[in-house]
Amino acid sequence: MKILKGKIINHNSSYNGEIIFEEKINSINKIDNVNFDNYIIPGFVDLHCHGGGGHDTMSGLSDIENMSKYHLKNGTTTILPTTLTATFDDTIKALKGLNKYIKKNKTNVIGVHLEGPFINSNKLGAQPPFTQLPDIKFINNIEKEALIKTITLAPELKGSENFIKLLLKKKIQVQIGHSLADYKCCKKIMHNNKIGFTHLYNAMSGNDNRNPGVLTAALRDAEYAEIICDLFHVNEENIHIAYKCIPKLYAISDSISATGMPDGKYSFAKLKINKKGKQAFIKKNVLAGSVINMHDTFKNLVKINFSLNQAVEMTSFNACQYLKEKFLGKIEKGCFSNLLVLDKKLNLKEVYFNGKLIK
């Protein structure tokens, strides 16, 4: 039995109190007339993460294990390792053994996010040129090795409509991304379906006044969308616009293996990238994912005038609502004890995962 005391910050409430917990939270008691020196928030949730600490999802199970540990030490208690657009052979090789690993180990990995390969070859961004048309056999075979929680695809591709229906029957969350679809195409698949959007604003058709595209569909009609908050992929003003328009917007890191590493040259999607400061580039002006973790993301949100409650909402709660994870992303009795202790400057002091002190 452990006890934490501090100012408890949920997505919808803040109060001074103590949390009594083991693997799950046993009870929470409010404490009046006390000013604590620390905040207690839910562990971060990252549904789009390619790597970190020098490790990459596409390099296989050992790297997935080590990248997840890097992010856990930095406060991410729930994570979806994310693939790149690749051949089936390379994708299955990367994910081989993941289901068995999750079953045998207490890990923050709860499944995977497939980013491609069913995306538009004319909207690759930093993705490799291995796109293909929708193929349910690809999905069926990947599922033998890894639980697919989300998939990014382009709905304008031939065969997408039926493919999306099959994915939804499998309870795989479908996200539009790396797409040149028009508004009508997006709206058609959004009808009666909980469709998400991948790294909002980036690698998608825009909000053109005469030719509305993916971004228009997201801002006008979406309930959920992910967004990178490194303040380079999307600027401050557009993050706030998205928050106003999309009820359950959530932040993702989109981090790559160079995250947490010194400046220098690294490999990403079999391409050479240059990490300098808080950015990484494939070419001079092509960003190669981000090089921040979710703790950096949380601090960035507060920096651009989101409240602590809103920052928790965007880095924990909304993503769990998207995946229907009822016992994650909030500090309530009966929820898993995934807890972070921050000082008043938002530095990370302690990380608890399923009640166990990690840092």
pLDDT per residue as tens digits for the range 194-231: 999 999 999 999 999 999 999 999 999 999 999 999 99
Query: Can you say whether the dihedral through the CA atoms of 305, 311, 315, 320 is positive or negative?
Result: negative
Which amino acid is located at 172 in the chain?
Answer: I
Over range 263-268, report the average pLDDT: 90
Reduced to 3 states (helix: H, G, I; strand: E, B; else coil), residue 13 is coil
Q: Are 154 and 179 in contact (CB under 8 A)?
A: yes
Q: Are 190 and 164 in contact (CB under 8 A)?
A: no
**Structural domains of the chain ordered from first start:** 1-42+329-358 (2.30.40.10), 44-328 (3.20.20.140)
Q: How confident is the model at residue 282 (pLDDT cuts 50, 70, 90)?
A: confident
Angstrom distances, CA of residue 166 to CA of 115, 140, 197, 208? 17, 11, 18, 31
- The DSSP string of 79-114 is EEEB--S--HHHHHHHHTTHHHHHHHS--SB--EEE
The confidence score (pLDDT) of residue 285 equals 76
DSSP state for residue 31 in the 8-state scheme = -
The Cα–Cα gap between 156 and 260 comes to: 36
pLDDT per residue as tens digits for the range 133-160: 999 999 999 999 999 999 999 999 999 9
The confidence score (pLDDT) of residue 272 equals 86
Q: How confident is the model at residue 192 (pLDDT cuts 50, 70, 90)?
A: confident
The DSSP bridge partners found for residue 147 are none
Residue 165 CB neighbours (<10 A): 12
pLDDT per residue as tens digits for the range 334-352: 999 999 999 999 999 999 9
Cβ neighbours for 137, distance < 8 A, ≥ 6 positions apart: none
Q: Are 11 and 317 in contact (CB under 8 A)?
A: yes
The confidence score (pLDDT) of residue 33 equals 86
The Cα–Cα gap between 247 and 318 comes to: 9
What φ, ψ does residue 314 adopt, rounded to 5°?
-85, -20
Question: Is the pLDDT confidence value at 170 over 90?
Answer: yes
- Residues of the chain above pLDDT 90, percent: 93
Q: How confident is the model at residue 270 (pLDDT cuts 50, 70, 90)?
A: confident
The confidence score (pLDDT) of residue 234 equals 98
Residue 104 CB neighbours (<10 A): 8
The confidence score (pLDDT) of residue 269 equals 76
Question: Is the pLDDT confidence value at 286 over 90?
Answer: no
Closest residue by Cα to residue 249 from 220, 221, 227? 227
Q: Kindly report which listed range (84-98, 207-221, 227-241, 282-296) carries the lowest average pLDDT score.
A: 282-296
Q: How confident is the model at residue 19 (pLDDT cuts 50, 70, 90)?
A: very high
Which token pair is 133? 């048309």
Question: Is the pLDDT confidence value at 322 over 80?
Answer: yes
